Amino acid sequence: MGANVLVFAERREGSLKRPALEALSAARSAADILGGSVVVLALGSGAAAHAEELGKHGADRLLTAEAPWLDMYVPEAYAATLAAAAGDVDAGLVLVPATSMGKDMAPRVAAALKTGMLSDVTDLEASADGTLRCTRPVFSGKANAIVAIPAARPAVASLRPNVFPVKETGGGAAETGSVEPALAEDKVRVRAVRLEKPAEAELDVAEASVIVSGGRGIKGAENFKLIRELAEPLGAAVGASRAVVDAGWIAHSHQVGQTGKVVSPNLYIACGISGAIQHLAGMSSSKVIVAINKDPEAPIFKIADYGIVGDLFEVVPKLAEAVRNLNS
Amino acid sequence: MKILVGLKHVPDTETKVKVADDGVSLVEAGIKFVMSPYDEYAVEEALKLKEAAGEGEVLLVCAGPESATATLRQGLAMGADRAVLIQDPRFDRADGLVRASALASVATQESPDLVLLGKQGVGTDESQTVPMLGELLDLPHVSAVGTLEIVDGRFTAHREIEGAVEVMEGSLPAILGCEKGLNEPRYASLKGIMQAKKKTIDVRSAADAGIEDGALGEGKMVVWEKLDLPAPRSGARILEGEIDDQVVELVRCLREEEKVI
Ligand SMILES: Cc1cc2nc3c(=O)[nH]c(=O)nc-3n(C[C@H](O)[C@H](O)[C@H](O)COP(=O)(O)OP(=O)(O)OC[C@H]3O[C@@H](n4cnc5c(N)ncnc54)[C@H](O)[C@@H]3O)c2cc1C
Ligand SMILES: Nc1ncnc2c1ncn2[C@@H]1O[C@H](COP(=O)(O)O)[C@@H](O)[C@H]1O
């Protein structure tokens, strides 16, 4: 197969998700090495409206299937349409964001194409001969595997969100074309029927560039307000250890770690979290880690960049105030 | 209701990772292997569904080394009815597609009403098998199911996505990946453990499962080249002085040096 790179541009409720632009930027670099072009597939009504934004980030072509029944996630139809597009555009590489949608869909695409896939990669290198070589965290982040797809084509990879930088290339609007969904609506056997959102829309840890997390050290559910008061001026999402989720102090959707979400924000502030290996599995690839803990021996200090040894009930409000002062 | 459950035999998550001389394998001495934690939710859900229906069968399948028998015995002790081991030590880091094909061979033979897997096999952390098996069997799939309801051959599954819960509706048969929170896996009772010892495990070769030898060896599509241990972080810079000064210094570092706020 060819030198072109196909990218799946995830949309939710009509908006392009940032991890799609991250994957697109990685695709542009890969296509430049492979000597091919970057083709993006976007599904659902209004998808062609992203031609400009996608072009600006390196897309040469945008393929869309604008059938309204694709507005919500339809796993089989999405996967079949991406797999068909891979053949149509002669892709040598298919990149999908490793979001909850991309993780659910990309392996189905790889199976349809009878090819190899690398999941949730944090680094990606294409060689001129077409080999895809990636880094992926394994064993709960305790090791990085270097894995390659030397021959199978197209190679498929899903890219961990928040890791690959979004780059503008200054390109004009991508050239648009439309494709048919590769599966008829009446053949579909599973689909998303609705999204249930928390009453108060909260920033999700998986999407945040700053996260403030609370652990058992915060002592009770009511003290999460301390964490929120620091998160708010930072524009941060609120994270949590499993201990506090299991205690019912906050919903599981906030849990960071091996059985929670894996995050790579620019800044992770751990308050009253000991740093158990399963927690580290979810956040050790954060760019800057700050730990606030009263126990100087807490393992979290081994992986943190900055540490304050102290009582979080004193430190966190002061930190929140200092950040608010910075903003004002 | 006949339910097929896939079990992966994996290194315990507490395992200290030591890389062998070849630069890519694990030193296995001292590692405890267990049923992948998410697979426990799959076994529990299968047993619950069978109990609720008052009839049915729970069939376990593992593609793994001979020692994976222990994981299958654990599932049998929890209450599963039968087990198949597709025995080959090379399944651990086999291509997702090959592992899914191994499961597909048994599913094709047994025609289950439902296939339950873990959302992710811990260790290799690929999360590929659920969607791949869906494609291979031409059945719908949902990965990472947090709640599940089945009525008259149709299911409703909730899965957590970024900032919301996505409600999926579909029809059986289907392949579902189980997420933490779906249920509380039971412990095997003493009676269960005794009974499990008496159940036979049907052992097959990879070839019996239709997998060509090359697919597990020279012909692998995904090649593991190297296992790197992340450079140990040098340890935190512990700030000093009065708390007020520490806070000021931290904010300065985050803004001026790290440029993250
Ligand atoms: C299979 C498995 C999966 C798991 N998955 C996850 C996961 O996804 N995420 C996860 O987080 N955990 C997970 N765990 C649990 C993990 O092992 C730990 O139990 C958990 O992370 C501990 O949470 P914690 O740090 O909040 O609590 P603790 O370990 O109890 O730590 C509390 C910390 O707060 C500090 N502290 C107390 N009071 C104060 C104060 N006033 N000021 C400052 N510091 C204070 C203490 O010194 C201590 O270090 C998993 C475990 C298993 C077995
Ligand atoms: N070798 C295997 N044998 C049986 N089931 C497996 C195997 N590999 C993966 N699975 C199933 O697929 C799920 C997801 O695994 P993975 O795709 O490896 O992350 C696991 O939780 C198991 O239920």
Query: What's the number of domains chain A is made of?
Result: 2
Domain that holds residue A319: 210-327
* A187 has a chain B CB within 8 A of its CB: no
- Together in a domain, A156 and A233: no
Based on the fold, state whether residues A234 and A122 are members of the same structural domain.
no
Which of A137, A153, A187 represents a domain boundary (last residue)?
A187
Burial tier of B186 (Cβ tally within 10 Å: 0-12, 13-18, 19+): middle
Instruction: Supply the CATH number for residue A267's domain.
Output: 3.40.50.1220
Cα B212 to Cα A100, A171, B63, B208, B220: the distances in Å are: 33, 47, 14, 9, 11
pLDDT computed for residue A313 by the predictor: 98
Asked if A174 and A215 sit in the same domain, the reply is no
Q: What is the mean pLDDT of chain B?
A: 96
Q: Is A146 inside any structural domain?
A: yes
Contacts of B261 in chain A (CB under 8 A): 210, 234, 267, 323, 326
Same-domain pairing of A172 and A235: no
Q: If pLDDT is split at 50, 70 and 90, which confidence band does A1 have?
A: low
**What is the tens place of the pLDDT at every residue in B30-74?**
899 999 999 999 999 999 999 999 999 999 999 999 999 999 999
Q: Average pLDDT, stretch B79-94?
A: 97
Q: How far is CA A50 from CA A172, A196, B39, B170, B211, in A?
A: 12, 26, 40, 30, 43
| Same-domain pairing of A75 and A180 | yes
Residue A234 included in any domain: yes
The closest of A160, A268, A273 to A210, measured between CA atoms, is A268
Residues 6+ apart with CB under 8 A from B152: none
Q: How far apart are the first and last CA of chain B?
A: 55
Question: Are residues A119 and A161 part of one domain?
Answer: yes
| Percent of chain B whose pLDDT exceeds 90 | 93
Are A171 and A288 in a shared domain? Answer: no
Minimal C-alpha gap between A197 and chain B (Å): 5
Q: Which amino acid is at A216?
A: R
Flag whether A205 is in a domain. Answer: no
Distance from C-alpha of B208 to C-alpha of B210, rounded to nearest angstrom: 5
pLDDT value, residue A206: 92
Give the β-pairing of A15-16 and A11-12.
Answer: antiparallel
Question: Rounded to an integer, what distance in angstroms lies between the CA atom of residue B246 and that of residue A26?
Answer: 39
Q: How many CB atoms lie within 10 A of CB A277?
A: 18
Q: Give the tens place of pLDDT for each residue, A195-232.
A: 999 877 789 999 999 999 999 999 999 999 999 999 99
In tens, the pLDDT along A27-52 reads: 999 999 999 999 999 999 999 999 99
Q: How confident is the model at residue B250 (pLDDT cuts 50, 70, 90)?
A: very high
Q: Does the pLDDT value for residue A297 go beyond 80? A: yes
Reduced to 3 states (helix: H, G, I; strand: E, B; else coil), residue A155 is strand
Q: Say if A202 falls within a structural domain.
A: no
Answer yes or no: do A161 and A246 share one domain. Answer: no
pLDDT (mean) for A148-177: 96
Distance CA(A116)–CA(A155), nearest Å, equals 6
The answer to whether residue A35 is domain-embedded is: yes
pLDDT (mean) for B83-108: 97
Nearest 5°: the CA angle B179, B182, B188 is 100
> d(Cα B118, Cα B183) in Å, to the nearest integer?
13
Spacing, Cα A214 to ligand 1 middle (Å): 9
Q: Are B172 and B150 in contact (CB under 8 A)?
A: yes
Helix, strand, coil content of chain B in percent (nearest 5)? 35, 30, 40
Shared domain for A54 and A93, answered yes or no, is yes
In the numeric block, which tokens belong to residue B186?
A: 């039971």
Token pair 């299968």 is at which residue? B46
The DSSP H or E segment spanning B39 is: helix B37-53
Q: Where are the beta strands (DSSP E) in chain B?
A: 2-6, 9-11, 33-35, 57-64, 82-87, 114-118, 141-145, 147-151, 154-161, 164-171, 174-178, 201-205, 223-228, 237-238
Strands A132-138 and A123-126: antiparallel
pLDDT score of B235? 86
Task: Examine residue B131 and say whether the peptide bond preceding it is cis (omega within 30 degrees of 0).
Answer: no
pLDDT in tens, A123-154: 999 999 999 999 999 998 889 999 999 999 99
How far CA A61 is from CA of A40, A134, A170, A299, in Å, comes to 6, 25, 15, 48
Pocket-testing residue among B33, B36, B40, B45, ligand 2, by greatest number of atoms within 8 A of Cβ: B36
Is A323 contained in some domain? yes
Asked if B179 and B41 count as a contact pair (C-beta separation under 8 A), the reply is yes
- Kindly state the percentage of chain A with pLDDT values over 70: 100
User: Would the CB atoms of B246 and A310 count as touching at under 8 Å?
Assistant: yes
Q: Kindly indicate whether the ipTM for this predicted assembly is greater than 0.90, answering yes or no.
A: yes
Specify whether A179 is located in the same domain as A218: no
Q: How far apart are CA A132 and CA B51, in angstroms?
A: 47
The CATH number for A135's domain is 3.40.50.620
Task: Compute the average pLDDT of residues A92-108.
Answer: 98
Distance CA B170, CA A188 (A): 9
What pLDDT does residue A140 have? 85
Strand partners for A4: A91
| Residues A14 and A146 placed together within one structural domain of the fold | yes
Q: Say whether A196 and B167 touch across the interface (CB within 8 A).
A: yes
CA distance between the termini of chain A: 55
The answer to whether residue A192 sits within a structural domain is: no
* Average pLDDT score over residue span A161-186: 96
Centre of ligand 2 from the C-alpha of residue A158, in Å = 18
For tokens 């001389």, name the residue: B21
Kindly report whether the peptide bond that precedes residue A161 is cis, defined as omega within 30 degrees of 0. Answer: no
Contact B261 A287 (CB under 8 A): no
Q: Are A35 and A149 in contact (CB under 8 A)?
A: no
Can you tell me the distance from the alpha carbon of B97 to that of B115, in angstroms, rounded to the nearest whole number?
A: 16
- The answer to the question of residue A276 being in a domain is yes
| Highest-scoring range by mean pLDDT, A57-66, A137-146, B6-15, B231-240 | A57-66
pTM of the model: 0.91
List all residues of chain A from 57 to 116 with a beta carbon under 8 Å from chain B. 73, 75-76, 79, 99-101, 103-108, 110-112, 114-116
Instruction: Return all residues near A1 (Cβ < 8 A) that are at least 6 apart.
Output: A90, A91, A92, A153, A154
Q: Residue B135: is its pLDDT beyond 80?
A: yes
Residue with tokens 């599966």: A183
Task: Give the tens place of pLDDT for each residue, A236-246.
Answer: 999 999 999 99
Q: Which of A156, A187, A218 is the last residue of a domain?
A: A187
Provide the pLDDT for residue A148.
98
Query: Where among A155, A187, A219 does a domain terminate?
Result: A187
How does pLDDT run across A62-93, given as a tens digit for each residue? Answer: 999 999 999 999 999 999 999 999 999 999 99
Centroid of ligand 2 to alpha carbon of A56 (angstroms) = 40
Q: Looking at the DSSP assignment, which residues form a beta bridge with residue B166?
A: A195, B159
- Nearest-Cα distance to chain B for A52, in Å, is 25
φ, ψ at A180 (rounded to 5°): -85, 145
What average pLDDT does chain A have?
Answer: 96
Check whether residue A178 and residue A278 sit in a common domain: no
